[in-house]
């Protein structure tokens, strides 16, 4: 599966610098992602916590694999797996 075919979801908040880094990274490498602001969407926040076991952001779902935090090396491996 090509990177651009994988569904990517970024759970974030507007005040989180690592969320900004993550979204900027995906934009720069041409990966389309769905950005969900968990500060405004309680159901999405609960979904994020259920998926990751974490309350901190960013939480990134790359094709069903969960990554917590800004980890470009991990993103790259999952996108190219």
Q: Supply the CATH number for residue 62's domain.
A: 3.40.30.10
Q: Does residue 58 have a cis bond before it (omega within 30 degrees)? A: yes
- Residues 12-48 pLDDT 10s: 999 999 999 999 999 999 999 999 999 999 999 999 9
Domain limits for position 33 = 3-68
User: Which tokens go with 27?
Assistant: 């934009």
pLDDT in tens, 45-69: 999 999 999 999 999 999 999 999 9
Asked if the structure places residue 81 within a domain, the reply is no
Q: How many domains does the chain have?
A: 1
The token duo for 28 is 């720069």
pLDDT at 19: 98
Asked whether residue 80 is domain-assigned, the answer is: no
């Amino acid at each position: 599966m090509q990177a651009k075919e994988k569904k990517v979801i970024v759970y974030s908040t507007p005040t989180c610098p690592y969320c900004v880094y993550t979204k900027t990274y995906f934009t720069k490498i041409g990966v389309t992602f769905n950005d969900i602001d968990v500060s405004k969407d309680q159901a999405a926040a609960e979904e994020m916590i259920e998926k990751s076991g974490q309350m901190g952001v960013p939480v990134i779902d790359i094709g069903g694999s969960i990554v917590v935090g800004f980890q470009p090396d991990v993103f790259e491996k999952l996108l190219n797996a």
